[in-house]
Structure 1
Amino acid sequence: MSKQVIFNLPVKDLQKSKAFFASLGFGFNPQMSGEHAANVIIEEGRISAMLMTEDFFRSLIDKPVVQAKEANEVIVCLVCDSRDEVASLVEKAVAAGGRTPHPLEDHGFMVTQGFEDLDGHLWNLVWMNAASQPPQA
């Protein structure tokens, strides 16, 4: 069964968040975007993030919105095609105003590093070399 994943993130300033993700090279679906939300295409037809103004996000739930700069509920993990893609996305995120919460970790068969976006949401980027992964027990 094929699935599409769309995750929703509250943002303080929709225009700044759109500019941040555009600077990382992501596009937007105009049919699913408007005044209060923007749909970031991560992988066409498979994965996207809906950036929602905090007021719009709040209208869909019955509890407080977590302030991601103060507490985290989730880390979004993206598997990248190469070590260079991990490094490039982190570099672009930092240049656009994000930060790195931890240094690059190189485990030989896997490289991981992440960034925090403008609203404090954590994104972890991973590249795995299938040829050198340790055998599974």
Structure 2
Amino acid sequence: MKVQIWANLGVKDVKKTEAFYSKLGFKKNTGPESEELTSFLFGEKDFVIHFFKEDSLKNGMKGELADLKQGNEVMFSISAETEAEVNDWAVKVKEAGGNVFSQPESFQGMYGCAFADPDGHKFNILKWK
């Protein structure tokens, strides 16, 4: 059996989300697009994250979405090759309109930072020491 996995996240404004991830340099997925959905490819293996308009995703899930102001749904990790690359990510995220809630620093054998996109979805950028 061949299995493929991807993520589906809810967003308030599909166009704003599209602009944010485009500014960060992520590649648009050539898959399905609409006013209800934008999609990007992450990493060397092109992990797909679909960003659905919140109401559309709630309908498909038959339930409520996580309140990202109260907690986390998931945190995606992105690898970096150098500490300078981590620092560059922090600058790019701020310029694109994201929130760097954990500034670049050394911790637990890594160097990294963490950010939230405009809807509160969390990512960290990590360079293993």
TM bucket (normalised to shorter chain) is 0.7 to 0.9
Distance 1:77-1:109 versus aligned 2 partners, 3 A rule: same
Higher strand share: 2
Say if 2:47 is the partner of 1:64: no
Partner AA of 1:6 in structure 2:
W
Residue in 2 that maps onto 1:119: 119
Following superposition, the deviation at residue 17 of structure 1 comes to 0.5
Worse-superposed segment, 52-61 or 100-109? 100-109
Structure 1 length normalisation: TM-score?
0.81
**Displacement of 1:5:** 4.0
Instruction: List runs of 5+ in structure 2 lacking aligned partners.
Output: none
What is the Cα deviation at residue 45 of structure 1?
4.2
Match for residue 25 of structure 1? 25
Amino acid at match of 2:105: E
State the number of aligned residues: 129
Equivalent pairs: percent with the same residue?
A: 28
Deviation at 1:105, TM superposition (A): 2.1
Deviation at 1:52, TM superposition (A): 0.7
Task: Provide the C-alpha distance between the structure 2 equivalents of 1:47 and 1:31, rounded to a whole number of angstroms.
Answer: 13
Provide the rounded CA distance (Å) in 2 between the counterparts of 1:81 and 1:48.
22
Length-normalised TM-score, structure 2: 0.86
Query: One-letter code of the match for 1:83?
Result: E
In the superposition, relative to structure 1, how do residues 44 and 53 fare at CA in structure 2: closer, same or farther (>3 Å)? farther
Q: CA deviation at 1:101?
A: 1.3
Query: CA 1:5–1:67 in 2, change beyond 3 Å: closer, same or farther?
Result: same
Query: Residue 8 of structure 2 corresponds to which residue in structure 1?
Result: 8
**Contact 1:33/1:39 (8 A) holds in 2:** yes
**What value does the CA root-mean-square deviation take over the aligned residues?**
2.2
Equivalent AA in structure 2 for residue 11 of structure 1: V
Moved more, 95-104 or 119-128: 95-104
